[in-house]
Amino acid sequence: MLLADIARTSREVAATPARSEKIAALALLFRRTEPHEAPVVITYLAGRLPQRRTGVGWSTLREHREPAAEPGLTVLEVHETLDRIAAVSGKGAATERTRLVDGLMTAATEEEQRFLFGLIAGELRQGALDALAIEGLAAATGAAPEDVRRAVMLGGSLGAVAEALLSYGPEALTGFRLEVGRPVLPMLAQSAKDVDEALDQLGPGAVAVEEKLDGIRVQVHRDGDDVRIYTRTLDDITDRLPEVLAAARELSVESAVLDGEVIALDTEGRPRSFQEISSRVGSRLDIAGAQQTLPLFPVFFDLLAVDGRDLLALSTRERHAELARVTPEPRRVRRLVADDPNDPETRRAVREFAADVLARGHEGVVVKSLDAPYGAGRRGASWIKVKPVHTLDLVVLAAEWGHGRRTGKLSNLHLGARRPDGTFAMLGKTFKGLTDSLLAWQTERLRELAVSDDGWLVRVRPELVVEVAFDGLQRSSRYPAGVTLRFARVLRYREDKTAGEADTVETVLAMR
């Protein structure tokens, strides 16, 4: 198959807003795909590369290359070139990567260049990713979409499922089931603003309220003495976490798949900051040294398989009973079971539990329906997280022009807190929380206040006050106050306030 076929399909997919038409266009192409090229074709049309990393990003791609007049590149040819690019390392690597990218791009037509740019940079913007590729694959092969989705979640790879389906048809899907040693996409949680809202959303059934730890999510597979540890995106990080490996080997099981969080504790047993944990888990070179400096502590909250049994379809209640059987107390997340979430006494107990979790220094709680199965790869309605929210009234110092559907709109706001001398200290940026009408309003308003515009950043007179919500402060080496906001989002503009009434740096630092 030619790259041109993929690029054209991508353009067609992007051209229609209707998901049904996107799926139809994808299915049309998958019907013409040979099984051996399916893993590459479907991954490209899901907007990703099969290579986990290539070393090529926006900076390497942006330079103009003269396009070819006629299409000639095959999909597998492109795939091999990217394999070669990904393998480049050592002195002169950047030059060599650029040379290979030059060769690829000059062999591509203008349409193919656009496609490759979006694909490699990870911003294809065709309105379809894995989920619609799965739908298209199902349509092309006559398989049930839900069965295909399930196979991908359990098989861990869209490409492998596509190849099997195109080779053997829908019957091939039964071969994809949970296997110890092969990671499964983890279940994710929705959010609510407080525990009462979370309980209301879950309905009348029994729930568990669990502490939410602020660390790195891990999926631990143990098969005898063999242990593998995966991140949320299924990256294998076994080598970096000897403590987790040891903890898995201590369990009284032959085999198991566990879901949990890795954190670190200080000498009083209080959790260390996310930044410290992230630094430790991210360290790959001197593991022994890193382990000395910051020992990690894995805590588990779910069990997906044990001793040959697949527990995914069991209820949270049943899975947790198994977890409790095989995992010692300190290795499990603290939790409270509420059989009748509508009982006022129970609600009080839940609120108290949540307050206690926060007092212990943790991030919040996750409220889980006890009757739901493990929804691999789903942001299911049966897990709901609750974290405290802070707010500040900050001054807009500048705004960046948006991209994609926000082209022509001032989108990303630079936020500042007041200093005593009347100047402002930038605390970070945000683009979140803006509706289309607010986006239009702020674009107009900020243009009136503009003092400069370099095509990327519009600086404005610091007059507009915006109320910003955020999860907490983090240390920052980039911003002048030494702190920045975690997960900042706009709540509303405060037109009733002047910049002189905005929150001060002092107020912000007092929140630490």
Annotated binding site for ATP: 210, 217, 232, 261, 301, 379, 385
Which residue is associated with the tokens 């949970």?
178
Q: Residue 349 has which token pair?
A: 């107990």
> Minimal CA–CA distance to 294: which of 270, 315, 277, 314?
277
Q: Residue 464 has which token pair?
A: 């507009």
Residue type, 250: E
Which residue is associated with the tokens 């070139």?
81
Whole-number Å distance between alpha carbons of 503 and 494: 12
Whole-number Å distance between alpha carbons of 148 and 158: 9
Residues 433, 469: contact at Cβ < 8 Å? Answer: yes
How big is the chain by its Cα radius of gyration, in Å? 25
Residues with Cβ within 8 Å of 188's Cβ and at least 6 positions away in sequence, in order, are 378, 379, 380, 383
DSSP result, 112-140: HHHHHHHHHHT---SS--HHHHHHHHHHH
Q: Where are the beta strands (DSSP E) in 320-409?
A: 335-338, 364-369, 379-386, 390-401
195-206 b/e with 16+ CB inside 10 Å = b? beebbeebeebb
Give the DSSP letter of residue 271.
Answer: B
Known active-site residue 387: no
Give the DSSP letter of residue 36.
Answer: G
Q: At closest approach, how far in Å is the CB of 62 from DNA? A: 9
Q: At closest approach, how far in Å is the CB of 408 from DNA? A: 11
Residues 361, 270: contact at Cβ < 8 Å? Answer: yes
Catalytic residue among 22, 91, 212, 432: 212
Give the DSSP letter of residue 510.
Answer: T
Strand pairing report for 379-386 and 483-486: unpaired
Comparing CB distances to DNA, the nearer of 349 and 457 is: 457
Comparing CB distances to DNA, the nearer of 260 and 462 is: 260
Residues with Cβ within 8 Å of 20's Cβ and at least 6 positions away in sequence, in order, are none
Which residue is associated with the tokens 């001060």?
504
What kind and span of H or E run contains 278? helix 274-282
Phi, psi of 208 (to 5 degrees): -115, 140
Residue type, 176: F
> Minimal CA–CA distance to 265: which of 284, 280, 250?
280
> Minimal CA–CA distance to 33: which of 87, 78, 75?
75
Give the DSSP letter of residue 503.
Answer: P
Task: Give the residue numbers marked as catalytic.
Answer: 212
